[in-house]
Structure 1
Amino acid sequence: MAAVSAGILLYRLVTSGIEVLLVHPGGPFWPKKNESAWSIPKGLVDPREDHLDAAKRELLEETGIKLRSDPQWLGSYKQPGSKTVDVWVAKADGSENPDLSVSTMLELEWPPRSGQRAFFPEVDRAEWSNLEDAARALHKGQVAISTDLRSKLSDSE
């Protein structure tokens, strides 16, 4: 069975348009990569875990943000490979400031084949981004998420 992740895309309305909260992966492979490297806050759904509960958990684990608004379903997105990401969107209430000191730490062998273990934050940056910049920053499999958010917000006006 293919892996399923769940995530929440926070958005806010600013005078210049719509901004979304994106996260940048931590670890030794990503520090200088920006284009097509960012993601929505998301993570794997545990067996028997409700997908929305997993999305809320991942938002908290990766950004320190506890969701205060009711998320709305956006859709399921097939990623390159075989993973699917179930995505909800939620409007930020203005109090959402990422606190990356809470980010989960990943352990891996570093440098490769050295036998040494090192710890890296799962997320090393979180930033608000307009939708045009988000389309360039997001992993290719997640670009449709920002496009669908724009459509959803246009439809609700």
Structure 2
Amino acid sequence: MTDKTSAGVLLFRRTADADVEVLIGHMGGPFFAKKDDSAWSIPKGEYEPELEDARAAASREFHEELGLFVPPGDWIPLGDVRYSSGKGKKTLTVWAVEGDLDPAEVVPGEFEMEWPPRSGRMASFPEIDRAAWFDLATAHDKLGAGQRPYLDRLREHLDQS
């Protein structure tokens, strides 16, 4: 098991009733196809800190996962969270950006994996199979546990500004 470093962007918007919604993606591939709670993710991806800046990686990964660019706006640092993933420990760095995108315009990137297992055949799957806006309480249930602290950090930042 090795430690991984990832970076991502948590896009948020304010609704007419002053609530906050975040855009997250449902993880693609066969392992998450029939799951909903804890099967969504902040658009993010791995990078090598020696080779790439975390913010540049976050922007690149947002584009790779959603097929869309991060809307212009202030990048609010939400810090790092270290958590266990299926392949060891992961340190995730996230920024929040206020903006609005239509989830129907998402064109996800793809990844390949052997499927079915031990078949020797490679199959392509979308990185995310859908994206949607959720209020913070709903997003809390949808996100994996390691990413939930970012919702609290976003709320704290917005309450202080």
TM-score (norm 2): 0.90
Note the C-alpha offset of 1:97. Answer: 2.1
Instruction: Confirm or deny that 1:153 pairs with 2:158.
Output: yes
Note the C-alpha offset of 1:113. Answer: 1.0
Q: Quote the residue 1:72 is aligned against.
A: 76
Q: Quote the residue 1:39 is aligned against.
A: 41
Q: Matched residues in 2 for 1:115 and 1:45: separation? A: 28
Instruction: Confirm or deny that 1:10 pairs with 2:23.
Output: no
* 8 Å CA contact 1:100, 1:123 repeated in 2: no
Q: How many residues align?
A: 153
Q: Which amino acid aligns with 2:77?
A: W
Identity %: 44
* 8 Å CA contact 1:41, 1:62 repeated in 2: yes
* 8 Å CA contact 2:20, 2:136 repeated in 1: yes
Q: Quote the residue 1:100 is aligned against.
A: 106
* 8 Å CA contact 2:77, 2:96 repeated in 1: yes
TM-score (norm 1): 0.92
2:138 to 133, 146, 155: 133
Q: Matched residues in 2 for 1:7 and 1:106: separation? A: 18
Note the C-alpha offset of 1:2. Answer: 2.2
- What do you get for the CA RMSD once the two structures are aligned? 1.3
2:64 to 55, 61, 65: 61
Q: Which amino acid aligns with 1:59?
A: F
2:92 to 59, 69, 85: 85
Q: Matched residues in 2 for 1:115 and 1:48: separation? A: 33
Note the C-alpha offset of 1:155. Answer: 0.7
Q: Quote the residue 1:25 is aligned against.
A: 27
Q: Matched residues in 2 for 1:110 and 1:64: separation? A: 24
Ranges in structure 2 where 5+ consecutive residues have no aligned partner:
none
Q: Matched residues in 2 for 1:125 and 1:30: separation? A: 12
Q: Matched residues in 1 for 2:21 and 2:30: separation? A: 28
Q: Which amino acid aligns with 1:38?
A: W
Q: Matched residues in 1 for 2:106 and 2:137: separation? A: 24
Q: Which amino acid aligns with 1:78?
A: R
Q: Quote the residue 1:109 is aligned against.
A: 114
Ranges in structure 1 where 5+ consecutive residues have no aligned partner:
none
